[in-house]
Structure 1
């Protein structure tokens, strides 16, 4: 089966067909084959991205990093070693995701009083939940710790900077037997904080790209378009899109490695 036929199958490839493509890519480094392999295995990046979602970094950012990790895994995979690609790709992708989380680690110094109150809040939540058989509200915590609800919420918000946590944490609303998310308590703008560093990195990286490179990067990893669709949009060959994408990803990978050394 030739490469064009693989593109026109209209279905997922079988395990043997994917192995055959890996052999072709290992021997020929054909960019079209690489593109097929990426499309066939993006589900791995998606699954792993969801696993790390809700930990203080936007899912889309995690998915982009996971997709880059997948491409690195495809480029490095050695079929002769006998490993299944998914077994090889998973730790590679997770490694990229964890490096991204480390890169985004906050360096803000949290006041000692916030750190101490945060520990008390965590202990109080466990105690009150067991005592009252319900999730304590900010008012419950404030009354138990002899402080104010505002200070409780301030500490919860600040502690996420010190130790990032999920914004999906729920609290009893105090009425109607409904729970509310932490995001409802601390304001809508907070959800944008985690995007600042990623956006800053992308903005700086984009400055070094030309219009075609920027279009390919945005359409490929933000709009999730295929190389074929992008090629039609730009009126260039799919091979050209693939080569430009590879060049841009390599440039961004070097930028990430450089930022980690600082």
Structure 2
């Protein structure tokens, strides 16, 4: 067993701890793991005659092993985010040491699973920091952290420590990208085109910039001029940018006096289909001579019979019947009236 002094560096203790085989624990930990027995302290010599002093070494027994020093620090983070045990190790230093150890291990080594799990655990606070940027969304924070952890795992698997880049600098964009992809693909109840989703990022940034510049909320023409895009695209982006959830038509609206949206929608007008027909008939009627136009008005608008029309116009009922038949034939054909 190697003897460590109290002056050993935390990195050396951590490497020894990670390279130790399962079951090879310090003597202090194995002793602490045993259940405490009833009071088994030896009585001082002389109180019970005839019993030897249990603290004295038995003849021929091996001397006690020397003290192995304090145990290695626990690589798992404590409540404050740093490593537990004596001499807390900085998270960045611990991450660097774990990546160095991970690079030394072969791909099929069982210890890689433990080192990778330790990297994930000590960098969870980085995921929580990234998730706070999306706390204004309607999704639970636990779901956002879970999605961000997937990005953290991908960053750990792809990180190359030989490039000289700090791991948080590399991992944070990957975590944010995974969370944004989750909101883009899984949160919206309605499908929004990818072009509008990407344009919404530019529009929201322009709105913040113009709000600071003008001291008020910007108008659609101002946003369009700032981004050099059509106003129709800005309006479509504003409508679809925050459309994450669909509202129920039967849900009551508090600001509308408790009325549901379905109660405030317009009804279908049964006479709406006759508007086009009325316009066409009006166009044909103006082409009729005065007498024939009056016959049509008396028959279909005043609801007079042929006998009443003949009395009104001073002609026979047979003549009125022939004129009506001729007029209706012309109107149905859509041709203009010919003398």
| TM-score band, normalised by shorter chain | 0.3 to 0.5
TM-score by length of 2: 0.31
Under a length normalisation based on structure 1, what TM-score does the superposition of the two structures give?
0.40
Which of the pair is proportionally richer in helix? 1
Larger RCO (alpha carbons 8 Å, 6+ apart): 1
